[in-house]
Amino acid sequence: MKKFLIAFGFAVILAATAQAQTTTWQLDPAHSNAQFSVRHLGISNVQGEFTKVTGTVQLDDQDISKSTVNATIDVNSLDTRVQNRDNDLKSDHFFDVAKYPTITFQSTKITNTGDDTSKMTGNLTLHGVTKEVTFDVTGPTKVIQVMGTRRGASATTKINRQDFGMVFMSNAMPGGDQMIGDTVTITLDIEMVKK
Amino acid at 155: A
pLDDT in tens, the chain (195 residues): 555 445 444 444 444 444 458 999 999 999 999 999 999 999 999 999 999 999 999 999 999 999 999 999 999 999 999 999 999 999 999 999 999 999 999 999 999 999 999 999 999 999 999 999 999 999 999 999 999 999 999 999 999 999 999 999 887 777 778 889 999 999 999 999 998
Q: Domain locations in the chain?
A: 22-194
Gap between the Cα atoms of 156 and 166, Å rounded = 20
Provide the sign of the torsion angle of the four alpha carbons 13, 15, 194, 136, taken in this order.
Answer: positive
What pTM value is reported for the model?
0.86
- ∠ CA 123-185-112, nearest 5°, is 55
CA dist list (Å): 174 to 126, 166, 184: 30, 22, 22
**Under a CB-based contact definition with an 8 Å cutoff, are residues 132 and 122 in contact?**
yes
* Angstrom distance (rounded) from CA 24 to CA 57: 6
Other C-beta atoms closer than 10 Å to the C-beta of 8 total 10
In one letter, which amino acid is 134?
Answer: T
CB 132 within 8 A of CB 157: no
- The CATH architecture annotation of domain 22-194 reads Beta Barrel (2.40)
The beta strand positions in 68-172, using DSSP E, are 68-74, 78-79, 102-114, 117-126, 129-138, 144-145, 149-160
Largest CA distance in the chain: 84
**Collapsed DSSP state (helix, strand, coil) of residue 65:** helix
